[in-house]
Structure 1
Amino acid sequence: MTDEIMTTAELAEADALPRCREVHTREGHTSPAASAPASITSKPVEQKSAAEWAYERIILYIKNFEKTLDNEHEVAMGFVGSDAGVLKIEGMGYFDPDMITFYGSDAAGSKTQLVQHVSQLSVILRALPKPRAQAEPERIGFRLAADLEKN
């Protein structure tokens, strides 16, 4: 083990960067933090609400999950501890200080919205077949990440 001397700026930057660790049985999986846009790391975690911080990290997980999908599947989320089925994720937001919301449609195509307190947050990401009439799969995670980078 080597002792590394860091400048004050390096220490502050290291403290502000999100930390994430994952280990998988299969090769090819990457950490969501590996592709974190600068907009996530530019504001210290201590200055973010629980809702904002959860929102940003869920976006990274969705985008990372979508990277593993083929052109015939889209991301959806299952409802933890419920028989409510799945929600095709078509939008996502937060309301400070502690609410997250997912917008989309259920398996029957009905408009669906989930509003959840961050303390109750559990999200199961699932791959669902895209509608046959749709030429390309929708990639909401990439849109959400692009929006973070704009702001």
Structure 2
Amino acid sequence: MSQDIQTTAEATENDALPRQVEAHAVGCGETGEKPLPEVVTRKPVKQKSAAEWAYERLILYIQNFEEQLDNEHEVAMGFAGNETGVLRIEGLCYFDPDILTFYGSDEEGGRMQLIQHVSQLNVALRALPILREDTEPRRIGFQLAAELEQAT
């Protein structure tokens, strides 16, 4: 039990602030998680829909994952529980209050779109080799983060 005493204003502010907790097994390396940027914390979490809040955090996860990739790989999303395969993430969208949409292509380059309710959100980020050797890997996380900054 905490011995800290908070004013009503402090308790209200702390309740509205997003929290991020991280732990790692010894020797497994760090994920490079960073504090939430100001663009994400500008609007209180309680004023965001579940879709908007999930969208913003997914952008940060994708961007962080891409920072750890070499130039031979780009980010993709794996699916659990079926034979759908993977989706190379080329776009991300939310539809208030509770829908997220992932746009992209499958491993063979065919167009793909996943529409998912936030209560069913389960995203596995994967590194896939780029399709063509003469192109640079796409870094969608940085583009999404820039668009998030412009939208606010």
- State TM-score, norm by structure 2: 0.86
Distance 1:47 1:81 in 2: 33
Residue 37 of structure 1 deviates from its aligned partner by 2.4
SS state at 1:30 partner: coil
Matches within 5 A, 1:1-150: 14-25=14-25, 26-31=28-33, 34-150=34-150
Aligned length: 148
Deviations 1:78-135 (A, max 9, x none): 1121110000000000000000000000011111000011111111110000123343
Residue type matched to 2:40 in 1? Answer: I
Contact 1:16 1:41 in 2 (8 A): no
Q: 1:35 to 1:131 in 2, by over 3 A?
A: farther
Residue type matched to 1:94 in 2? Answer: Y
In structure 1, the gaps of 5 or more residues are none
- State TM-score, norm by structure 1: 0.86
RMSD: 2.1
Contact 1:16 1:42 in 2 (8 A): no
Residue 49 of structure 1 deviates from its aligned partner by 0.5
Distance 1:132 1:104 in 2: 16
Residue 76 of structure 1 deviates from its aligned partner by 0.2
In structure 2, the gaps of 5 or more residues are none
Q: 1:94 to 1:134 in 2, by over 3 A?
A: farther
Residue type matched to 1:30 in 2? Answer: G
Deviations 1:8-56 (A, max 9, x none): 776655444321111223334222xx24321210111110001101111
Contact 1:74 1:139 in 2 (8 A): yes
Identity %: 62
